[in-house]
Structure 1
Amino acid sequence: MGCCNKEQGLIAGAVIGAVVAILGGILFPVGDSIIKGTVDKESVIEPGTTAYDTWTSTGPPVYRQFWFFDVKNPLEVVQNGAKPEVMEKGPYTYRTRIYPRANITFNPNQTVSFLLPLNAVFEPAMSVGPEEDYVTSINLGVAGAYSLFPKGLHLFLNNLIKSSNSSLFQYRTVKELLWGYTDPMLKRTLGAFVPFNDTFDGFYTVYSGKEDISRVGIIDMWKGERSLPFWNDTYCDMINGTDASAFPPFLDKKKPLYFFSSDICRSVSASYEQSIDLKGIKLYRYTLLASTLASPTVNPDNKCFCTNPTTTRNCTLAGVLDIAPCKDLTPIFISLPHFLHGSPYLREAVLGLNPSEEHHKTFLDVEPTTGFSMRFAKRIQVNMMYGPSKVITILNKVQDYTIFPLLWMNETGELDQATADMFKKELISRIDMLETIQQVLLGLGLAVFALCLIGYCVVRRQRSKSGF
């Protein structure tokens, strides 16, 4: 009887272990469903959700750091046709995104519209010097007029340059070069970011995700239009993806992320590079590919961004984007800092450049479950172009077209510790707890089942040997 009772107990234990293991196994899909349902609900942009609370707040500090290219040999360039030699000077740091999204309006078609206020406040403690520091840089008025005036007006432009005592380079403060000064030749306000303070970017209209969470944050319209008016091409004028502050949840690292940047007047994509840890949170890092600014000979999709064959060497130049079509004809060329991923010609024309993947690439660190961007670095360089002229005196010695770097910007934001702790408590800890329960139940159940099954076999063998 003892052996029989022991066998029955072991069988019962094995059954219980199997049930516990099955329960643990069942919890995996059930737990995943619970997690997905919770994340889907909290990712919708509507009052009362985590996404909305995050979306409507100013969030962690966002900074714009500027490095200027200080010209060391301006006279040699003008008088002898020497290549300009530059030295990087910076950073000069400003806090931006001081105010939250404005004019938030919920629309009947499950979209929401808003404006992004633009302001910049100087941060002396994070800068190498005051805004009043001087830099020898390209003359914005002269370079701009040279790009816009046809050769038939070069004599007129030469007279303007002489009468205003202007030259190819100028000595200006950081504040003037960024936020504006009155140009003596053109009699208008010029600056790399004019106008900026107390202006707005948008209107943006994005999907709230209420009906389809896979579209949350996707831009429906920018400035009331579903496509851009700049490039005269269906592909290049597409507005794709989000504004990069967040993406639809449950990222698949095999698929790129798409976002639109008004700074460069186009949509771009970023691809998964690696998984990293930020304050105890696992993130996916996405970076821009070299093909983003590749020449049309390498990436045919970029052909519609090539609007000036003369300055782009018949559209073979890589690494720069002429954004004059979307900046009121201001002849600005955008690139990555130090012409990273650009044609060697760009770096050979200006001495002192040293591109680095580590310091000059653009990246997004995104939490894969929620799609929230937890850290980012948007790095772009502002350039202007000048070239030879037989009529304009200060350009007589110039040998070739030069795309000259004015400055490069690193716009960064990072999840603060308090928000990271809240995120881990509200989401990650619950997911971890659920996964732990699943694993404990499955492991304990399998262990009990295996031990009871082994015990049953041992008892049966002993009983067989004893003849009972």
Structure 2
Amino acid sequence: MTVGKDDAAVKWLRPPEVANGVSVRQGAAVGPTPITAPAARLAVSNRRLPAAMASSSACHRGLLAAGAVTLVIGVLAVLLNQQLFDAILDKKLELTPDSDGYGFWHTMPVPIFIKFYFWNVTNAEDVVTNHAKPILQQLGPYVYTEKHLKVNMTWNANDTITYMQVKTWHFEPDLSAGRLDDNITSLNVPLLAAAAMIKDMDYFMKVMFNEMVNNVDTQLFITKTATQLLFDGYDDPLLDAAAVIKYLVNITIPFDKFGWFYSRNGSNYYDGVFNMDTGAEVTQLGRLHYWNNTDKTSAFEAPCNMINGSAGELFHPRRQRDYVEFYSTDICRSLRVPYKEEMSMYGLDGYRFQADEMMFAAPETNPDNWCYCNGECPPAGLLNETLCRFGVPAFVSFPHMLYADPAVLDQTVGQEPNETLHNFNIDLEPLTGVPLAVRARFQINMLLKNNSDVDLLHNVSSVYLPMLWFENTVDTTPDIADQFVTIVQTVPTVMSAGSITLAALGGALLLAGLVLVVLARSRRPQPGEEPLTASSTTSSLSVTDR
């Protein structure tokens, strides 16, 4: 058979059949046929495909896991954010030797001032001879800086601390409206104290007492300087005599001079021994358990004798709009001050707790006050301090007898009560319980009344006569306020934002992982479709070209 030229060309162009990589023509092996470049690349690529797919799947699973874990942590952080913040705050406030709250409590870094105002009786002779109404002149303020330092501290196993306190005062002439050598005329307190001490003695002792009073020329009113009446004290013949006869009769003389704050400056014993809760249970932080080793005071009847509330410097956090309660060693009782209103200071929001007329109200108005009477209830607005002051007829009120019975206020001339100037208030940051500002104001009054046992008091008019009043002021500083702004505002905001960001990041990672998984699955061969491999591709090409 003769083959034409055109037939030969067609046969030359037709690809040879391929079997196992060997070219076969008419049953004869003629050597290997090279695979073209595209086919070679496809074969190599398809050999790498399973490993790449496995790596991609591992990446997707890792992304999903990371997203899920981050989301769970973020959601938990959002849900538990407040509890976490509270736990951190409580730990910082708890009183321990190395806690943040300890440094603040131990030395009180905020400035404390005490302002004294004296009532000068301008018509003392007329009061004695003509029973005139006392005319009063307010002198002061005499301003002192006040420092507190805790000493003799013992940390107890029951989460309390026992300590004593040293208070020191330093006169500030530039802040004062008077001088320490100002003369002030007021009632003779040692005379009233002595008269109270002899009331239960026999007739002979009372006669001796009157003879002694006459011999030393004791007067109903005395004139002393401001510094003598405050911290220095002054000698009095009645005190000297009492120091002698105290061994003959059963009386206690707690001082050798008289001054309202005599022997207190720098003393570590005057304020007594405190036992206070350290706040391991945060709702008990600052709570006073014992004062002078007892949880009761002998100054009042039960239940008014209970020592309740704070020691006056620490208050538990997360305050409510109800009241604050603290124990005052100066007046031997606990004071409950009700919530008044919201306030703000240096960017910090706070709660103001302010005293009202119910604190020293008569039992007819406030039945809870019946046990403060000490046998005879004073008029409204006065607290009977007789047993707190060694039997001296002393009565505490707010300055200018704010909230007092108008009849009592009318016994003197010169007092002008003003709720803004003469009330008692304390401002607390409610989240931490830290004081922002304090205005603690009290007035000491003496009861001058007829006493048949004492010649000088035999024919006097009864009058509640104010002696002095004082104002303790405490104000936080801008620097300290900034620290608490960080604690109560910045930290919670950062923690909340961080929790939300973490949850959002976890959600984003989880969503990205899910999207990648869906895309990867959409690119895989469908059921019944032959996977793309080197052999299948080559075979397909061979069949087609044949």
TM range (shorter): 0.7 to 0.9
CA contact (8 A) 2:195 2:454 kept: no
Q: For 1:154 and 1:406, how far apart are their aligned partners in 2?
A: 27
Residue 433 of structure 1 and its aligned partner are, at CA, apart by 3.5
1:350 equivalenced with 2:412 (yes/no):
yes
Q: For 2:196 and 2:258, how far apart are their aligned partners in 1?
A: 15
Residue 391 of structure 1 and its aligned partner are, at CA, apart by 7.0
**Counterpart in 2 of 1:204?**
274
**Counterpart in 2 of 1:63?**
113
Q: For 2:212 and 2:364, how far apart are their aligned partners in 1?
A: 39
Residue 165 of structure 1 and its aligned partner are, at CA, apart by 2.1
CA contact (8 A) 2:199 2:453 kept: no
Residue 30 of structure 1 and its aligned partner are, at CA, apart by 2.7
Residue 288 of structure 1 and its aligned partner are, at CA, apart by 1.9
CA contact (8 A) 2:276 2:311 kept: no
State the aligned residue count. Answer: 414
**Counterpart in 1 of 2:336?**
269
State the AA in 2 paired with 1:412. T
Name whichever of 390-399 and 125-134 sits farther off.
Answer: 390-399
Structure 2: gaps spanning 5 or more residues? 1-70, 241-255, 505-546
Q: For 2:324 and 2:93, how far apart are their aligned partners in 1?
A: 17
**Counterpart in 1 of 2:465?**
404
Residue 142 of structure 1 and its aligned partner are, at CA, apart by 2.2
Instruction: Name the SS for the 2:359 alignment partner.
Output: helix
Instruction: Name the SS for the 2:191 alignment partner.
Output: helix
Instruction: Name the SS for the 1:35 alignment partner.
Output: helix
Name whichever of 373-382 and 430-439 sits farther off.
Answer: 430-439
Closer/same/farther in 2, CA of residues 39 and 206 from structure 1, 3 Å limit: same
Instruction: Name the SS for the 1:159 alignment partner.
Output: helix
**Counterpart in 2 of 1:283?**
350
CA contact (8 A) 2:301 2:374 kept: no
**Counterpart in 2 of 1:428?**
489
Closer/same/farther in 2, CA of residues 54 and 241 from structure 1, 3 Å limit: same
Identity of aligned residues (%): 28
- Written as runs of structure 1 = structure 2, the 5 A alignment for 1:32-431 is 32-97=82-147, 99-150=148-199, 156-179=208-231, 180-187=233-240, 188-200=256-268, 201-210=271-280, 212-233=281-302, 235-253=303-321, 255-309=322-376, 315=377, 317-389=379-451, 392=454, 394-395=456-457, 397-399=459-461, 401-431=462-492
TM-score scaled by structure 1? 0.82
**Counterpart in 2 of 1:466?**
none
State the AA in 1 paired with 2:137. M
Residue 439 of structure 1 and its aligned partner are, at CA, apart by 9.0
Q: For 2:274 and 2:156, how far apart are their aligned partners in 1?
A: 12
Residue 261 of structure 1 and its aligned partner are, at CA, apart by 0.7
CA contact (8 A) 2:362 2:369 kept: yes
Q: For 1:262 and 1:29, how far apart are their aligned partners in 2?
A: 45
Residue 291 of structure 1 and its aligned partner are, at CA, apart by 1.3
1:164-196 deviation line (CA, Å, top 9, x unaligned): 222221111001111211113332411212331
TM-score scaled by structure 2? 0.71
Q: For 2:210 and 2:134, how far apart are their aligned partners in 1?
A: 21
Closer/same/farther in 2, CA of residues 267 and 390 from structure 1, 3 Å limit: closer
Q: For 2:217 and 2:311, how far apart are their aligned partners in 1?
A: 44
Q: For 1:91 and 1:45, how far apart are their aligned partners in 2?
A: 36
Q: For 2:323 and 2:469, how far apart are their aligned partners in 1?
A: 26
Instruction: Name the SS for the 2:238 alignment partner.
Output: coil
State the AA in 1 paired with 2:414. G
State the AA in 1 paired with 2:370. K
Closer/same/farther in 2, CA of residues 217 and 391 from structure 1, 3 Å limit: closer
Structure 1: gaps spanning 5 or more residues? 1-20, 310-314, 444-468
CA contact (8 A) 1:148 1:331 kept: no
Closer/same/farther in 2, CA of residues 319 and 22 from structure 1, 3 Å limit: farther
Q: For 1:171 and 1:75, how far apart are their aligned partners in 2?
A: 12
CA contact (8 A) 2:139 2:178 kept: no
Runs of 4+ in 1 over 3 A off after TM superposition: 21-29, 146-149, 151-161, 389-397, 432-443
Instruction: Name the SS for the 1:354 alignment partner.
Output: coil
